[in-house]
Chains A and B, each alone.
Chain A
Amino acid sequence: MLEQRARIPVEQRNYGMFYIVFSAILFLGTVWAVWDEVSVRRPWKGYQSQYYDLLYQKLDSLKSEALSAIDSTEAAGLQERLRQAQGALQSDEYVQTMDQKNGLLRDLDVATREWRFARSRSDAAFYQYQQAMLAGKDTSSARVEVDEEEAAIAKYAAEMDDLQKKISGFDGIVDKYQGEIGRIEVEIKKLFASADSYNLKLERSEKSSLEIKQVILPDFELTPFSEVKARIDRCQTCHLGWNESVMAEAPQPFTTHPLPELLAKHNPETFGCTTCHRGQGPALTEGFAHGEADHYWETPILTGVETYATCNTCHSNETVLKYAKPFTRAKQLVLENGCYGCHEVKGYADLPKIGPALSTLPAKTNADWIFRWVKNPTEYNAHTRMPNFRFSDEQAEAITAYLMKIGRESEFQYERGRGAWGGGNAAQGKQLFQSVGCQACHVIGDDASVRESRGTSHDPAPELTRVASKVNPNWIMDWVKNPKHYDPATRMPSLRLSDGEARNLVAYLMTLKDGQSYPKRSLDLNNEEKIREGDRLIREFGCAGCHTIKGMEREGKVSVNLSDFGKKKVEQMDFGNTLPLGHDSDVDYQENADGTVSVKHSWGGWVYGKFKNARLYQTERIVQKMPVYSFNDEEIRLMRAFLMSMTRDVPIATYQRTFDKRMQNVEAGRRLTVRYNCIQCHTLEEQGGYILVKYDDPGLGPPPLPESQGVKVQEQWLHSFLKNPTTVRPWLKLRMPTFQFSDAEIGTIQKYFLGMSKADLEIRDYSSTPVEVRYLKPGRELFETYQCAKCHPSGNVNLSELSASDLAPNLALARERLKPEWIVEWIKDPQKLQPGTRMPTFFYEGVAPDGETLGGNVDEQAKALTTHIWNLGKKK
């Protein structure tokens, strides 16, 4: 064919075929290009149409359900009534009335017109009259005309009035018919209301077009060069169902956003999506938006518990976040484990050291024990917070030598002489230990119940299973009677033990000895070189971060600043000798059979491995100093989420939560209560009460709710109570300990409670609260009728007859202790103020059992009772 073509002269060759073929190719290419651009490269269009289909189906099914739920007889009945009412419009009465009314309306039209004409004529006549007057002519005829027209106006006005009255007279009848129709229509509408609303939604969704949905936040954040940067989020383009409640069970990406209460405070329309979830906002394809397909996007989307990490960008000052409970736990873990002792952590400055003071050790324990502890803390106490530094024997010996030296130089003396502890009864001591409340924090033996109830892998206080091998009894006596004497910064409270009780307790604790014997070690404690080495080691490894050690009060933080750790690039992380796990692996950390460890070589994997074993990435040439902790899986994940939140990116102030005075008070209170571990027994902000696992006597209710104390007790009483707790419920063996708070600490706590109840500190003189005399007699009568004295003593009480669980607080205390307004509210509905309390509700459903006194009025009776109770405490 080509030869054939070659024979035709060039000018006569036909290029038609080429033209057609290439045109066709170009045409097809164009069509493909358009198709690709409009559809294939815009997968969001597919998602959107899928979404609308799903929505339509769902709304349709809901509508059918709503329709089938309608009682068909009722609907038919209403329709019938409507038909009848509409038929009634044909009735003679209505037709005639309407005819008459219309006739009258026509007459009214005419009268109105005539009235208007009369008014204009009157204006004209008056003009003429005035003209005549000015011109000095005779005004009488003009005047006559003016008066005539005025009369006409009056006549027509009266006629209009009259007609209006007649017309409105018919209104009653008309309304009877029309109104009835209206009422029936309203009822029908109500019956079909939900079906109608679904119908409306259906119509709206049918009309929706496919389009990009974006949120633009113009002045959101600052670039590293301090320029204002906007943020644009197009997540809603595929995630259309985020605000549509009917899509709650739809698959992703169409499902409803969970936690609507949280969303109400952080509306995505004004807050954006990537603020919390990270990811690439402007991207419109899944891989790029979520960050998986784009390896250079520094903030890929957060999943699972890590989503809470972004809370910290604005809420870094707060330790309790109501809607982010896992993150609250993460923050509390950081507070409890004292990471801020060695690392600078944003938002964790000025916090107390978490470990005991080490300046006076010889008074407490012996050198052998210190040596073993420094070598391996978990050998003595499996659930301690102290991590393992993996010291060699020589290093441990040096450290022991140093600590013993500074201890010998201290001037500590026991408050009671040596031997003051002797003569106690161990069995009674054991009973005391189990009843007074020690078990809230101290564990003896394998009991994991309180720990598990709290969900941590560590105990808040040392395990006492082998305490006799660690401490000497003189020290226990001194400690238990007054902990702050040995260590002024301790969080151990005093249980107000009498000397006899303390001796019994010491006797019991001294029976808890080691089951095993250790090889005798000869420690060279007086060697100057060793002591200097110990000093150097302590400074190098940063022990002063958690312990107060004499001479090391000014030591700085020994390790890296973690405030921007969330943004650390994986290329800058050293994975040591660990083997890499694939990116699609389910686990971050894996111990292989041959003793090696595989870790996912990503930021998340590195951090997991580090928390699991802090020396994991140590090699022959690169030595690491971070000690090894023993966290459980959940704790590691939570703290990793916390680290992920450590970044320097913070949105502009308008987007942040204002940290006002009330929040500052609340936050200071939270940190104090975490430090002193109030939540071990009490419930604060929906957390706590772990002690109830051990003391589960049904007669015992939960300890008082601290948050309500702001409105419940008198401020001065609370202050003196926290300073020196007194016994409010004498039958209880469990005691509120004396924490030996300073005045400033008590102030923090009070402001915390007041902040939580959103109240202000008021100093009132409660003793001069006026007493309404008219309530005195009824109050006393009601007190007898309702037999309050059956449970509430008021004065001295004979405890022998009544069992512990029958008693309630002594009412003589009420005047000094409680706020009168609170007493009234308590009497009216105790279960509302303290759910589960044993105080019965007398005024059940707002009805007073005694219907006669004070007219059976619940408020009056409550006030009368309060007045009587107030009087009971009056000092004679």
Chain B
Amino acid sequence: MKELSVMRSLAVVGTLLLVGAFTTFAGDVTGKVAFKGKSPGMARLRMDADRFCKIAHKTPVVSEEVVVNKNGTLKNVLVYVKEGLAGKKFTAPAQKAVFDQEGCTYHPHVLGVQAGQEVEIRNSDNTLHNVHTLSTSNPSFNAGQPMKGGKLVKKFEKAETFKVKCDVHSWMGAYIGVFNHPYFAVTGDDGSFTIKGLPAGEYTLEVWHEKYGAQTLKVTVDASGKKNADFTYSAN
């Protein structure tokens, strides 16, 4: 009995040490993007042009240009480290990011990927879609996907934030942000974000929204701490 408890406590200490070792030299930045003011009314998307799209939705679909969550935060805001990672090179993750066309809208509306990371573009609709990237640093392309289940894998090599549109359905639009490093996030339904594993140092954090533009904030991450960074956008 005594040995078992000794073993158990040893295991706990060992795990704690391991965890401690991994997080000793890196910090996290968490925060929220709040929205002040009345949420602007979003236009309804008229999908009459395509029969499939029209019948795909039972309830009306509104534009995702500004999505204000129930807790007063803003969704689809890109958060990323703008300065402070000078000269460092990061290898792209092997995991593919997914960019889907479903119900004649793009999912997700705002996607963050790393330069060199593969993006799998899917068509989950039984209608013709095309993905037309309006990028300037990366070569732009316009790939058609006429059939359901079509998959296309693309890589973006240069850091850039650009719009993606569909030439068949003019109401469809999304944004892809490509970064040279893995320290980025997109706010979700609760308006919060977490950037994990930032080495200690001084950084400039930037948030970007498609309608309300960009805001920056300087943060200093210390060796083992958690840093909090909150942003606020206002309606005007």
Give A residues with C-beta under 8 Å from B.
Answer: 699, 785-787, 790-791, 801-803, 805-806, 830-831, 836-842, 844, 849-850
B167 touches A838 (CB 8 A): yes
B132 touches A838 (CB 8 A): yes
Interface of A is mostly: loop
B23 on the interface (CB 8 Å rule)? no
Complex CA distance for A699 and B134, rounded to whole angstroms: 12
* Shortest beta-carbon distance from B174 to chain A in Å: 15
For A791, the closest partner residue in chain B by CB is: B168
Complex CA distance for A353 and B81, rounded to whole angstroms: 62
A-B residue pair count with CB separations less than 8 angstroms = 59
B152 on the interface (CB 8 Å rule)? yes
Contact partners of B169 in chain A: CB under 8 A: 806
B16 on the interface (CB 8 Å rule)? no
Complex CA distance for A188 and B71, rounded to whole angstroms: 65
Give B residues with C-beta under 8 Å from A.
Answer: 48-50, 127-128, 130, 132, 140-147, 150, 152, 167-170
Q: Can you offer 14 A-B residue contacts whose CB atoms are under 8 A? A: A699-B170, A786-B128, A790-B128, A791-B167, A802-B49, A830-B142, A831-B141, A838-B142, A840-B144, A841-B143, A844-B143, A844-B152, A849-B145, A849-B147
B170 touches A841 (CB 8 A): no
For A788, the closest partner residue in chain B by CB is: B128
A841 touches B142 (CB 8 A): yes
A805 touches B147 (CB 8 A): no
B130 touches A840 (CB 8 A): yes
Complex CA distance for A841 and B140, rounded to whole angstroms: 12
B142 touches A790 (CB 8 A): no
For B134, the closest partner residue in chain A by CB is: A698
Complex CA distance for A836 and B132, rounded to whole angstroms: 9
Complex CA distance for A842 and B132, rounded to whole angstroms: 12
| Known A801-B48, A806-B49: A850·B147 in contact at CB below 8 Å | yes
* Shortest beta-carbon distance from A425 to chain B in Å: 30
* Shortest beta-carbon distance from A122 to chain B in Å: 77
For A835, the closest partner residue in chain B by CB is: B140
B170 touches A839 (CB 8 A): no
Complex CA distance for A791 and B129, rounded to whole angstroms: 11
For A842, the closest partner residue in chain B by CB is: B144
Contact partners of A801 in chain B: CB under 8 A: 48-49
A849 touches B170 (CB 8 A): no
Complex CA distance for A790 and B166, rounded to whole angstroms: 12
Contact partners of A805 in chain B: CB under 8 A: 170
Complex CA distance for A840 and B168, rounded to whole angstroms: 9
Complex CA distance for A554 and B163, rounded to whole angstroms: 61
| Known A790-B50, A801-B48: A839·B168 in contact at CB below 8 Å | no
* Shortest beta-carbon distance from B47 to chain A in Å: 11
| Known A849-B147, A849-B150, A850-B147: A839·B142 in contact at CB below 8 Å | yes
Complex CA distance for A802 and B127, rounded to whole angstroms: 16
What 7 pairs across the A-B complex have the smallest Cβ distances?
A840-B144, A840-B130, A787-B128, A838-B167, A842-B144, A786-B146, A844-B143
* Shortest beta-carbon distance from A592 to chain B in Å: 48
* Shortest beta-carbon distance from A641 to chain B in Å: 33
Question: Could you say which of A699, A802, A806, A841 contacts B144, with CB atoms under 8 Å apart?
Answer: A841
Complex CA distance for A699 and B48, rounded to whole angstroms: 18
* Shortest beta-carbon distance from B50 to chain A in Å: 7
B170 touches A803 (CB 8 A): yes
A840 touches B49 (CB 8 A): no
Contact partners of B48 in chain A: CB under 8 A: 801
Contact partners of A791 in chain B: CB under 8 A: 167-168
Complex CA distance for A849 and B127, rounded to whole angstroms: 13
* Shortest beta-carbon distance from B96 to chain A in Å: 17
B132 touches A840 (CB 8 A): yes
For B123, the closest partner residue in chain A by CB is: A849
Complex CA distance for A803 and B169, rounded to whole angstroms: 10
Complex CA distance for A347 and B152, rounded to whole angstroms: 55
Contact partners of B50 in chain A: CB under 8 A: 790
Contact partners of A840 in chain B: CB under 8 A: 130, 132, 142-144, 167-168
